[in-house]
Amino acid sequence: MKTRVCLLTLFAGAVLLIASPMAAQVLYENGPINGETDAWTINEGFVVNDGFTIAPGNNRVTGLSFGAWLFPGDVLQSVQVIMSSLPFGGEFFFNQQVTVTQSGCFGNQYGFNVCTETASFNGPILGNDVYWLSLLNATVNNGDPVYWDENSGVDCHSTGCPSQACEGNCLGSIPSEAFSIMGGTSSGTGTVPEPGSVALIAGGFIAMVGLLRRRGF
């Protein structure tokens, strides 16, 4: 019994050491979801670009959250995320289709569900500068349009906010959207651990205990 308690204590401590960096910091936020004004299409060939500032620099991006308008019953499954030096162009630091988790949905006056969409991914290390976030190719369970919530950066608190924003190749500006960029310093503070690290420790723990007894217009 003493041995088992010791192993459990060691495992709990190891998990805490790894889990503590999972509380990613907000690197940039453009204010909360509005949900009642307007929204911009991010699929069916449409692209929306919002600027964001990283200050201080040397931060690794590990995730993203944003507000989406969806037809009732739709669930957002994934979205293409681009981070670049210019709106939908220049130097590309990240360009991937990422899966999202949908939460906190509510109905608005236009009959849409407004939801918080969250994605976690192994993103780039960004220096102290202004970058652009582009969202496109959003996919839902039945192929309906998906819209990015417009909040104009109201009640944002980050350096450089509110964001500048535009559609497509930015021939004109639009009000900015609701989003947050998550991450932490590249040294590891505030970053999300690799799933493999957690799996290795969990596997080691199970092996040790096995010696005692098989145990989302």
Sequential pLDDT tens for the chain (217 residues): 433 434 333 344 443 333 334 457 999 999 999 999 999 999 999 999 999 999 988 999 999 999 999 999 999 999 999 999 999 999 999 999 999 999 999 999 999 999 999 999 999 999 999 999 999 999 999 999 999 999 999 999 999 999 999 999 999 999 999 999 999 987 544 333 444 434 433 444 334 334 333 333 5
Q: What phi and psi, each to the nearest 5 degrees, are found at residue 163? A: -65, 150
Buried b (16+ CB within 10 A) or exposed e, 101-128: ebeebeeeeeebbbbbbbbbbebbebee
Closest CA to 98 of 74, 84, 77, 68: 77
SS3 (DSSP) at 60 = strand
Q: What is the pLDDT of residue 57?
A: 87
Task: Quote the CA–CA distance of 148 and 70 in Å, as a whole number.
Answer: 9
For residue 118, give the nearest of 105, 131, 132 by alpha carbon.
105
- Count how many residues are written for the chain: 217
pLDDT of res. 217: 54
- Burial label for 192, CB within 10 Å (0-12, 13-18, 19+), is buried
Q: Is the omega angle on the peptide bond into residue 56 within 30 degrees of 0, that is, cis? A: yes
As a whole number of Å, the end-to-end CA separation of the chain is: 63
Distances in Å between the Cα of 107 and the Cα atoms of 61, 65, 149 are 31, 19, 13
The candidate with the shortest Cα–Cα distance to 83, out of 64, 67, 102, is: 64
Secondary structure letter of residue 56 according to DSSP: S
